[in-house]
Each structure stands twice: as C-alpha cells, then as structure tokens.
Structure 1
Amino acid sequence: MNWLDILIIVVTLFLGMLGLWRGAIKAVFGIVGLIGGIALAGHYYLP
C-alpha cells in the first residue's frame, strides 16, 4: 500500500465515524425528547 491508499482509508474511516457519531447524537436526542414529552403530558394531563 502506498501513501495515497492509506490517506483514502484514513479519510474514509474518519468521515464514517463522524457520521456515526452525529447519527447517534440525533437518535439519543430524539429518544430523550420522546420520553420527556410523554412525561410532561402525563404530568399536565387534566382528567
């Protein structure tokens, strides 16, 4: 492998991890928002 192959592999891995991280953060905030919405709806529900 020459330096160009290594550079392409490193850039691909970096961008893949960055995309995975951003996707994981978006998923965690989505789940937290859903749970928070359910908790607030249960708290302020008028029977």
Structure 2
Amino acid sequence: SDQRTAWLPAFLAYYNARRPHSALGYQPPASRIPGNNLLQLNS
C-alpha cells in the first residue's frame, strides 16, 4: 500500500540504526559496520 511504502524508509532507519537488538548485545545492527567501509563486509 502507499502508506507502507511511505513509512518503510523511516522504519528501516530506526530498525537498523537505533533499535537495540538483544542478539547483538543490545546494539543496533548498523553499529557492527564501520561507517567508512560498508562494502568490505559484503565483498
């Protein structure tokens, strides 16, 4: 739906950069990736 499409970017930003995950020691997933080298982990 249009509402889901409109809210998805905000949700993904929250989920990956701010929401604490218990499996990661209550850190957000984005904290595991160095900010200056995103491609190195996926190559």
Please state which band the TM-score falls in when normalised by the shorter chain: 0.3 to 0.5
TM-score computed with the length of structure 2 as normaliser: 0.37
TM-score computed with the length of structure 1 as normaliser: 0.35
Say which structure is richer in helix: 1
Larger Rg: 1
Higher relative contact order (CA 8 A, sep 6+): 2
